Amino acid sequence: MTLDEAWRILQEKQFKRTKNRDTILQFFSENDRYLTALEVKNFMEEDNPGISFDTIYRNLSTFSDLGILEETDLNGDRHFRMQCDPGVHHHHFICTACGKTRSISHCPMEMITVNLPDYEVEGHKFEIYGKCPLCVAK
Amino acid sequence: MTLDEAWRILQEKQFKRTKNRDTILQFFSENDRYLTALEVKNFMEEDNPGISFDTIYRNLSTFSDLGILEETDLNGDRHFRMQCDPGVHHHHFICTACGKTRSISHCPMEMITVNLPDYEVEGHKFEIYGKCPLCVAK
DNA sequence: CGAGTGAATCGTAATGATTCCTGTTTCAGG
DNA sequence: CCTGAAACAGGAATCATTACGATTCACTCG
Pair B107, B89: CB distance under 8 Å:
yes
The answer, yes or no, to whether residue A85 has pLDDT greater than 90, is no
| pLDDT score, position B110 | 81
Nearest CA in chain B to A123: B129
B109: alpha, beta or left? (left if phi > 0; alpha if psi -120 to 50):
alpha
| pLDDT score, position A101 | 93
Measure the CA–CA gap between A34 and A39, rounded to whole angstroms: 10
Q: Which nucleotide lies at the shortest CA–C1' distance from B17? A: D26
Measure the CA–CA gap between B71 and B85, rounded to whole angstroms: 14
pLDDT digits (tens, 9 = 90+) for A39-53: 999 999 998 999 999
Nearest to B39 by CA among B58, A73, B31, B47: B31
At residue A120, the 3 state secondary structure works out as strand
DSSP A11: H
Burial A40-57 (b: 16+ CB within 10 A, else e): bbebbeeeeeebeeebbe
Asked if B97 is an interface residue toward chain A (Cβ–Cβ < 8 A), one would say no
- CATH 3.40.640.10 applies to domain B91-137: no
What angle is formed at CA A23 by the lines to CA A17 and CA A28, rounded to 5 degrees? Answer: 115
For chain B, where do the domains classified as CATH 1.10.10.10 start and end? 3-82
| pLDDT score, position A60 | 97
Q: Which nucleotide lies at the shortest CA–C1' distance from B54? A: D18
Nearest CB among B77, B102, B121 relative to A130 is that of B121
Nearest CA distance, A56 vs chain B (angstrom) = 18
pLDDT digits (tens, 9 = 90+) for B99-111: 899 999 889 898 8
Nearest CB among A106, A123, A131 relative to B108 is that of A106
Pair B61, B45: CB distance under 8 Å:
no
For chain B, where do the domains classified as CATH 3.30.1490.190 start and end? 91-137
Nearest to A25 by CA among A62, A72, A78, A73: A62
CB contact under 8 A, B93 and A130: no
Q: What is the mean pLDDT of residues B46-60?
A: 94
CB contact under 8 A, B120 and A130: yes
| pTM for this prediction | 0.89
The whole-chain average pLDDT of chain B stands at: 93
CA of residue A113 to C1' of nucleotide C15, angstroms? 42
DSSP A34: -
Q: What topology is assigned to A3-82 in CATH? A: Arc Repressor Mutant, subunit A (1.10.10)
Asked if A122 is an interface residue toward chain B (Cβ–Cβ < 8 A), one would say yes
